[in-house]
Structure 1
Amino acid sequence: MVFYALCVTAELENLTDLQPLGGCSDPEYAYYFKVKCENCGETSQKEACVTLSDSFQLPTGRGTANLVQKCKLCGRDGTIQMLPGHGEPLTLQQSQSGSEAMLMVFDCRGFEPIDFSFGNGWKAESTSGARFEMDLSEGEFVEYDEKGECPVGISNLRASFKVVKKHERAGKTTFV
């Protein structure tokens, strides 16, 4: 098993805490990305849709996963299980320093997630405390914060999947 963290970065203008509407562990937020078969290297043509609220029986019959799919080329099964509680929103400070925020961790078996697609269902808070909901499918967001009397925006939005390691310490699981 390999753990992949979905990491995002962006240039935030007068905004902070960029994340899915219900938070990083929102059970209804749909993460869309392509998958690459670890056996034959085939990349899916369509994006997979993975949500915490979906649960499918594993081919072995022992357990469930949030995504169970066969590779179209070699026929091997692949599964992805989301691991909630390890994500954090992208803050203004992280944006200014060029750092990434880890939104979600995926336990992948047989597949590697690639090419995350931003879509609708995101939120952020302005530096004045105004809340904004947004569609990031175009890769940017521009608005005016009437409360703070300033422009707000998101640009240079990027996502990547990074291999992370699981650490158990004092009964707490972390990923680095």
Structure 2
Amino acid sequence: MVNFMLYITAELENLTNFQPKGGVDDPNFTYYFKLKCENCGEVTDKETCVSLSEELPLVKKGTTNLIQKCKFCKREGTVTMIPGRGSPLTHEDSETGKHAPLMVFDCRGFEPLDFAFSSGWKAESLEGTKFEDINLDGGDFAEYDEKGECGVMISNVRSMFKVVDLSKKNL
């Protein structure tokens, strides 16, 4: 079992608290990323989708959020999401180039790669205006904040997966 934390960062212009629309533990938010088989090294052609709301029973006991077979070697692997460890990307994080932890994935047989930003995000302006259902399929988001009388933008979105030890307090 290896736990991977998904970290995100972006350039936030006049925005803060960038996160999935329902919060960092939104059960309906779908994560899209490719998977690499730990047995043969094959990488999936398309992004796999995983969400907290989808639970599948495991053969021995418990549940997982994804069970998938490698197309090449046919070995089965699982991805189980572990909520409660994420936080939104703040304006301060963005200004200092920090990555915000978003979600932990317990991966057995696979390694997550290449997270794809899509729709279902939210952020708020520094003046408090809420922007819901932000779509980052095109990579950027730009809007005008009437209350703050300024432009707001999310650009240069990036992500990375890092192996984490959940027994440690600071991830």
Instruction: Give the deviation of 1:175 after TM superposition.
Output: 5.7
Task: State how far apart, in whole Å, the 2-side matches of 1:141 and 1:119 are.
Answer: 11
**What 5-or-longer segments of structure 1 have no aligned partner?**
169-173
**Does 1:24 pair with 2:27?**
no
Report the Cα distance in structure 2 between the residues aligned to 1:22 and 1:161, rounded to whole angstroms.
Answer: 22
> Does 1:123 find its partner at 2:118?
no
2:107 maps to amino acid: C
Amino acid at match of 1:87: G
**TM-score normalized by the length of structure 2:** 0.96
Structure 2 CA distance for aligned equivalents of residues 46 and 151 of structure 1: 35
Give the % identical residues: 59
Q: State the distance in 2 between where 1:9 and 1:63 align.
A: 33
Distance in 1, Cα, partners of 2:143 & 2:111: 35
User: Who is 2:6 aligned against?
Assistant: 6
Give me the whole-angstrom Cα distance separating, in 2, the residues matched to 1:46 and 1:78.
16
User: What's 2:145 paired with?
Assistant: 145
Letter in 2 for 1:144: Y
Corresponding position of 2:79: 80
What are the equivalent positions in structure 2 for 1:77-116 lying under 5 Å apart? 77-116=76-115
Between the aligned partners of 1:165 and 1:89, the Cα distance in structure 2 is: 20
Q: How does 1:153-168 map to 2 (within 5 A)?
A: 153-167=153-167
Aligned Cα root-mean-square deviation (Å)? 1.0
Runs of 4+ with >6 A deviation: none
Consecutive unaligned residues in structure 2, runs of 5 or more: none
What is the distance in 1 between the residues matched to 2:137 and 2:103?
A: 19
Query: TM-score, length-normalised on structure 1?
Result: 0.94
How many corresponding residue pairs?
A: 170
Q: Which residue of structure 2 lines up, in the alignment, with residue 63 of structure 1? A: 62
Whether the 8 Å CA contact 1:15–1:153 is kept in 2: the answer is: yes
